[in-house]
Chain A
């Protein structure tokens, strides 16, 4: 059984304190900027947690054996889902109520869809059937409850299998996973339109849902890999060998490239066609702002290229070779880079649309990110202490243990 080390406990507590200070500081100094910061951090950690459910479901439906010895790790990551889900709902509800200076979603402004008022925006009014707060909040509740339901169900099947054995849990796992896949394919895309794409309410991109999924997958795999290496270092997971680590490394590598592919497809097509209603999105990230003749330099330009480069160049170069994917310190380095890169990218999905020229990464943003990290460690590690770190009675367990590539 795993027990949290004293250092890990202190670290998570310290990080949570930093997060709390950042939260108070952010809301006290500039609530208008604190909400977007909370949103992108929540998006980031919610992605990691819900991807863990997807990971398990993917293993079931593809009859994969290699991952069985690490199955408990995504199962523990899933336990962070309710926390991020509740925080996400708090953000959305307060945005709908304009509570605490929450103006993340421009389309929620009063009168924006009423003709004749000062705020009226014809294009946004045309989207009312989809972008209205009641439907919006109801949808979000459904996604989050649905994902939590599936995560609980999969975890319960896994624990029951440990206790009773037999093939019925495995078969039921395949069915549950298939249903989850269908539910997730639809909800993850719409959630990304709702929570993130609708910030830039005029803008639209059909690829957006898959782009966000690729990001969640990249950070999800990186997190699973880091926790696996950490547990291994503490002497747990004796059946996890180099081949398992290698396979996880391949996934981090692959999804860093898939993310880049999505990024490029979206960026290149919009850049190439150069249609005004689409290209504004990248202009807000790349061009200096011109506000009544005052030129304000764009804060996001550097981050935009920087995050793209470190999310792509580092994994492709550092993880290309076979040996690199079996080299723990190399993997740790790349995973940390990938997580930071995607965290910056998450910031870029939210900040330009909410803060315009005034956004910058400061104590509020970093502090909240660290606080989330502390909370994540605390909850996930606690979940790991409650169950054995290796599943029992899974039909593929023996095959997984003997993986050798």
Chain B
């Protein structure tokens, strides 16, 4: 076992044994859902239904049901798409990059973060799909052979690169998530009784692929985890870089700037960690995981939020400065208009929630407070939505010809689809919390003796 310095804080609290971990993690799966779960689920389900109706209406009547116009021809659709893709990013960083960095604290949060990635990407994928107008022709986004009619895709378009990047990202994330789940499904399988829950036992034994916990199984498990981490790490960069190129390859002032790829990646990690915190602070209460998701975990995530938030802030200031420095009047106007034009309030929300409020994490007592963290994580979620809105709508609404200048206001359907995806996301996440082991217990057990609080005291 690896030596761990005494001064490191414990990552598992309470006098836990291996069996306690098993019991704690499988409890939500074996018991009945409590009141809070049902309240949250009902609320989310209502939003989800609203979303389904709005999407059905959009497909039935066309994109005209949205608030778009000839100048602002991209608005909430792509804003929501980028927002959801961004949220997914933290999952990949936690599962892949933090694995390569040997960060033990990732083990309590990676499962839920990866689930969040998958559910988030699923929401994001809905937007291009319904934006097509005729989603039954969605397969045209792939470069299918000419026998199917015609080759429709444009290889020069970043939108096509998105198709490849996001589908790769989605599949690697699912595989990564699933591999980690195998030993945990096996644990649940072994706890289920054939007499009381035969169906469940059969289901979990199917899902666990005959895992028996042999040394050979573990060796392969660790090997494949590392390989997948190596594959997923470039994906952390590529996906959001390509999303940023949807804008940056264009010659629209405010969109075309070279810092976009790394800045979008950092923004995505920033928003992703905020969403992980929002979810985990709820989950640890709802399914009693206080011993495993400790304030130290929250503090580490807050440090990452502080770092990425500050870098995103640096990028905002760099863009602002360079627009002046460039001497290009269109660039200068685009940024002046962002900060002081009719959408100044969106810019102000973005700056406050993404740059200013995360600076509060310099204070230890805020960084180590669940309540503060919960509030500030919501701030970041809001701020990052507005960041995309600012980039997209304010860059478009002042066209090159002043006669084309317009504003954007969302329709009832726009709002319904957006809130609907939030509902859908929570529906999926809440179902997941009742059917999956929400913490990677097999991995967590591997650090119990080095990072458990009781074991640390004994040394």
Binding site for B on A (CB under 8 A): 61, 63, 65, 123, 126-127, 130, 167, 170, 182, 185-186, 189, 202, 204-210, 250, 257, 261-262, 265-266, 268-270, 272-273, 275, 277, 395-396, 398-399, 402-405
Contact = CB atoms under 8 A, between A and B. Distances in A.
Given A167-B7, A265-B241, A396-B5, 12 more contacts: A170-B7, A185-B310, A202-B327, A205-B259, A206-B319, A206-B322, A207-B257, A207-B262, A261-B261, A266-B258, A269-B248, A398-B3
Q: Which of B234, B248, B326 has the most CB of A within 10 A?
A: B326
Contacts of B262: 207, 210, 261-262, 265
B195 interface: no
A265 B244 CA distance: 10
A186 B314 CA distance: 8
Ordered nearest first, which 4 A-B pairs have the shortest CB separation?
Answer: A206-B259, A207-B258, A265-B261, A402-B3
A261 B262 CA distance: 9
Interface of B: 2-8, 100, 102, 234, 237, 241, 245, 248-251, 256-262, 303, 310-311, 314-315, 318-319, 322, 325-328
B327 A189 contact: no
Given A185-B310, A277-B326, A398 B261 contact: no
B105 to A, nearest CB: 10
29 contacts: A65-B5, A123-B327, A127-B325, A127-B327, A167-B7, A186-B314, A202-B327, A204-B325, A205-B258, A205-B322, A206-B319, A207-B258, A207-B259, A207-B261, A207-B262, A208-B258, A250-B100, A261-B241, A265-B241, A265-B262, A269-B248, A269-B257, A273-B249, A273-B250, A273-B251, A275-B251, A275-B256, A395-B7, A398-B3
A186 B313 CA distance: 11
A181 to B, nearest CB: 8
Contacts of B250: 273
Contacts of B319: 206
A277 B328 contact: yes
Contacts of A127: 325, 327
Contacts of A170: 7
Contacts of B7: 167, 170, 395-396
A405 B318 contact: no
B6 A395 contact: yes
Contacts of A257: 234
A189 B321 CA distance: 12
A250 B229 CA distance: 14
B328 A269 contact: no
A283 B249 CA distance: 18
A65 B2 CA distance: 12
Q: Which of B100, B258, B261, B314 has the most CB of A within 10 A?
A: B258
B5 A269 contact: no
A399 B325 contact: no
Nearest to A126: B327
Contacts of A275: 251, 256
Contacts of A202: 327
B331 to A, nearest CB: 9
A269 B237 contact: no
A267 to B, nearest CB: 9
B414 to A, nearest CB: 30
B310 A206 contact: no
A185 B311 contact: yes
B232 to A, nearest CB: 14
Contacts of B327: 123, 126-127, 202
Contacts of B8: 63
A206 B261 contact: no
A398 B310 contact: no
A277 B328 CA distance: 9
B326 A204 contact: yes
Contacts of A270: 258
B325 A130 contact: yes
B165 to A, nearest CB: 14
Q: Which of A126, A127, A275, A403 has the most CB of B within 10 A?
A: A126
A395 B322 contact: no
A63 to B, nearest CB: 7
A126 B329 CA distance: 11
A275 B260 CA distance: 17
A189 B6 CA distance: 38
Nearest to A210: B262
